[in-house]
A and B are shown apart, each in its own frame.
Chain A
Amino acid sequence: MSTQASAIDTSSPWAGGQSPYAANSKKFGMWLFIISDSLTFSALLFAYTYSRVANPDWPKPFHFSPSIIFASIMTFCLLSSSLTMVMAVEAMSHGDRKAAFKWILGTMAGGAAFVVLHLSEWMNLINNEGVTPAHNPWGVPLFGATFFGLTGLHMTHVIIGLIYLAIIAQAVIRGKFKYEDVEVAGLYWHFVDLVWMFIFPLVYLMSARI
């Protein structure tokens, strides 16, 4: 809650359009973005599920090692980076910029580990299993198209998140930006984490080769 919002009368949501959400506009804007982005990811997840149901011979290319192990470690990285992001917001709410800076760096480390692991997992699929967006050895080309489309868009979000956090981190340590800016960056990062919570079981675990 920003100090700005608390200055306005927020006694009732219907009190004449005066900050009915008791949230600053940056935070509300980020929430609107997150909701619309959720629909994009829902559509892609739905496209994957639809193709899968429509093709009974859908491939199961994910071996326990390395794919499932990597994907589980990636989940751990993202979940832990969410925790460090919460800590960064917490530190910032106490005005402790140094701690917030360190926690944001920790978050970025988790995100970077995710991207590195995910890219090596992609490389494994491309080189060892022969999957590309248009072809694969199992004769279901939609697998590559939907898989790379979905995970690629998610990875793009993680990379954009890393750039976003880097900008926030350098500003925080130089005494610029306020609590709410870190909080809004946190909202974005948790959303990226949240999307992976659906991709991991629906794409990886449902297609694990037993």
Chain B
Amino acid sequence: MSTNEQVEHAGGTTITFVKVWMVLLVLTGVEVLLAYEQVPTLIMLTILVGLSIIKAALIIAYFMHLKFERLSLFLTLFPMLIFCIVLMLIFLGDATRIPVMRPPV
């Protein structure tokens, strides 16, 4: 346990992390409650995905420490990822047509 092992640690205290953890738990609870409400599927999907993205952002920013990294790291990694995921969604329109095109049994 040498002292020269200590590293400078920018950002994020224990209290911050516990707060983030609690927010994540609360958001999960909201999601579970929402699943048992009579909400139209599309609205429910939108809210669930929205909450999930918020949760993911919290995990990436605080737990994965990206908030305290260089902006260049974020810019290298994430715009490409988001772009590729959005590209996948182009095909989703096809899925809505398949039930209509299926010949009657």
Contacts and interface: CB of A to CB of B under 8 A. Distances in A.
Given A95-B2, A197-B56, A39 B48 contact: no
Contacts of A206: 35, 41, 44-45, 48
Interface in B33-78: 34-36, 41, 44-45, 48-49, 51-52, 55-56, 59-60, 62-65, 69-70, 72-73, 76-78
Nearest to B16: A86
Interface string B67-94: 0011011001110110011001101101
Q: Is the interface of B mostly helix, strand, loop or mixed?
A: helix
B36 A39 contact: no
A42 B60 contact: no
A206 B64 CA distance: 28
Contact of B28 (A13, A76, A186, A187): A76
A54 B99 contact: yes
Interface in B2-20: 2-3, 5-10, 12, 14, 17-18
Interface string A24-64: 00001001100100110011001001111111100000001
Nearest to B68: A1
A63 B55 CA distance: 25
B31 A201 contact: yes
Given A38-B81, A198-B56, A1 B36 contact: no
A190 B64 contact: yes
A93 interface: yes
A76 B34 contact: no
Interface hub of A43, A49, A178 (most chain B Cβ within 10 A): A49
Contacts of B21: 79-80, 82-83
Interface of A: 1-3, 6, 13, 20-23, 28, 31-32, 35, 38-39, 42-43, 46, 49-56, 64, 68, 72, 75-76, 79-80, 82-83, 85-87, 90, 93-98, 178-179, 183, 186-187, 190-191, 193-194, 197-198, 200-202, 205-206, 208, 210
Interface of B: 1-3, 5-10, 12, 14, 17-18, 21, 24-25, 28, 31-32, 34-36, 41, 44-45, 48-49, 51-52, 55-56, 59-60, 62-65, 69-70, 72-73, 76-78, 80-81, 84-85, 88-89, 91-92, 94-96, 98-99
